Amino acid sequence: MKPTHIDPERDILAVWHDRGNVAAWSRAVRERRIASRRLVTDAAVVSTVCTRSPRRVIDLGCGEGWLVRALAERGIDALGVDAVPALIEVARAAGGGRYRVMDYAAVAAGELRERADVVVCNFSLLGCESVDALLRAIPLLLSPAGVLVIQTLHPWSACDEAPYRDGWREGSWTGCGDGFGEAAPWYFRTLAGWQQAFLAAGLALAAVDEPLHPETGRPVSILFTLQPQA
Determine whether domain 8-228 maps to CATH 3.40.50.150. yes
Tens of pLDDT along 116-150?
Answer: 999 999 999 999 999 999 999 999 999 999 999 99
- By percentage, how much of the chain surpasses pLDDT 90? 93
pTM (predicted TM-score): 0.95
What is the 8-class DSSP label of residue 185? P
> Whats the size of the chain, residue-wise?
230
Q: What is the pLDDT of residue 2?
A: 43
Cα 79 from chain centre: 14
> CA angle 118-55-195, nearest 5°?
10
How far apart are the C-alpha atoms of 182 and 211, rounded to whole Å?
29
Contact 79, 57 (CB under 8 A): yes
pLDDT digits (tens, 9 = 90+) for 10-41: 999 999 999 999 999 999 999 999 999 999 99
Above 60 in pLDDT, residue 211?
yes
CA distances from 103 to 59, 130, 140, 147 (A): 12, 10, 16, 21
Q: What is the mean pLDDT of residues 210-230?
A: 95
Residue partners of 10: CB distance under 8 A and separation at least 6 = none
| CB neighbourhood size of 216 (10 A) | 9
Give the containing element (helix H, strand E) for 69: helix 66-72
Sign for the pseudo-dihedral over CA of 70, 73, 74, 79: positive
Residue 219 DSSP label: B
Contacts of 8 (CB under 8 A, 6+ apart): 127, 128, 168, 185, 187
Could you give the percent of the chain with pLDDT greater than 70?
98
Give the bridge partners for 77, in sequence order. Answer: 56
Q: How confident is the model at residue 4 (pLDDT cuts 50, 70, 90)?
A: low
* pLDDT of 5: 64
pLDDT digits (tens, 9 = 90+) for 151-203: 999 998 888 888 999 999 999 999 999 999 999 999 999 999 999 999 999 99
End-to-end CA, the chain:
41
